[in-house]
């Protein structure tokens, strides 16, 4: 692998409450994004210490 190639990580979360999963599908749909891209944005913001509003 090249030294400048980005590292990609995968996170799997099990046993989420079905209502949480439902809300995680609705939020990005309202914003015209995929659930994956929305979660990526949310996790990045939280990791950077930003406040995430609903």
pLDDT digits (tens, 9 = 90+) for 5-47: 778 889 999 999 999 999 989 999 999 999 999 999 999 999 9
Query: Which residues lie closer than 8 Å to 31 by C-beta, 6 or more apart?
Result: 38
CA gap 11, 35 in Å, rounded: 14
CA gap 1, 11 in Å, rounded: 21
Residue ranges per domain, the chain?
18-44
Write down the pTM of the prediction. 0.72
Q: Using alpha carbons only, give the angle 39, 40, 45 rounded to the nearest 5 degrees.
A: 95
In the numeric block, which tokens belong to residue 25? 């599908």
What is residue 6's predicted lDDT score, i.e. its pLDDT?
Answer: 79
CA gap 28, 37 in Å, rounded: 8
């Amino acid at each position: 692998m090249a030294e400048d190639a980005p590292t990609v990580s995968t996170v799997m979360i099990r046993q989420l409450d079905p209502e949480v999963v439902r809300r995680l599908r609705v939020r990005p749909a309202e914003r015209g994004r995929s659930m994956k891209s929305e979660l990526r944005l949310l996790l990045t913001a939280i990791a950077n210490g930003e406040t995430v509003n609903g």
